[in-house]
Amino acid sequence: MHIVIMGCGRVGSALAQALEEQGHTIAVVDRDPTAFRRLGSSFGGRRVTGIGFDQDTLREAGIEDAGAFAAVSSGDNSNIIAARVAREMFGIENVAARIYDPRRAEVYQRLGIPTVATVRWTADQMLRRLLPSGAEPLWRDPTGGVQLAEVHTSAAWVGHRISRLQDETGVRVAFLTRLGEAILPSSQTVLQEGDLVHVMMRTDEIDRVEAAFVKGPDEEGGR
């Protein structure tokens, strides 16, 4: 796949190198030509100097043949404008924008433009580890009806199978994080202390699901 990246800061350069190592062709756009030094001499992709939301600049970067576009410059406005141009003018489906302002990120997420709110994400992750509670949304479908979330799980669920957790709470467990590693559980996987549970659920059922995870399993049920 050909991928265009706007912004050659630490994130953009690391993303470009990682994607190139996976076999993709890459074009990096930045208005500052000295920024391309971060790519290193081994980088084989295109280096395009220009404004990332300018259509001619994007064409020079190969946007018409691209399968994905990432806007990771240091400016929220530039990132979201570039993301919209890539999607609306060039029809790129796989588009993502880095947004520093979490309020803006939520707005654009609802408009169907995937965003990464870096400051909010870092703070939320720290709080999640210090004060685990409730559900932390990680992804929402464009309609907002379904979401992937990490849900705080009561210690009462430890020792019970994933199948029971799903049956009693009505969610689908997407994956677990155990000892720092993501695992895909089967219905027979048993929850262990310290597991982080990531589930798919309907957005309008968050309160009910949170309550079921905190309450623990039905005492009349079996393991």
Question: 32: buried, middle or exposed (CB in 10 Å: 19+, 13-18, 0-12)?
Answer: exposed
Beta-strand pair 181-183/172-178: antiparallel
Residues in contact with 136: Cβ distance below 8 Å, sequence separation at least 6, in sequence order = 124, 128, 149, 150, 151
Q: In 3D, which of 217, 79, 100, 80 has the Cα closest to residue 159?
A: 217
Contact 190, 159 (CB under 8 A): yes
Supply the DSSP symbol for 73: S
Single pTM value for the model: 0.57
Residue 100's pLDDT band, with cuts at 50, 70 and 90, is confident
In tens, the pLDDT along 23-51 reads 999 999 999 999 999 999 999 999 999 99
Could you please report the per-residue DSSP string of 141-199? -TTSSEEEEEE---GGGTTSBHHHHHHHH--EEEEEEETTEEE---TTPBP-TTPEEEE
As a whole number of angstroms, the distance between CA 128 and CA 217 comes to: 23
Q: What is the pLDDT of residue 223?
A: 44
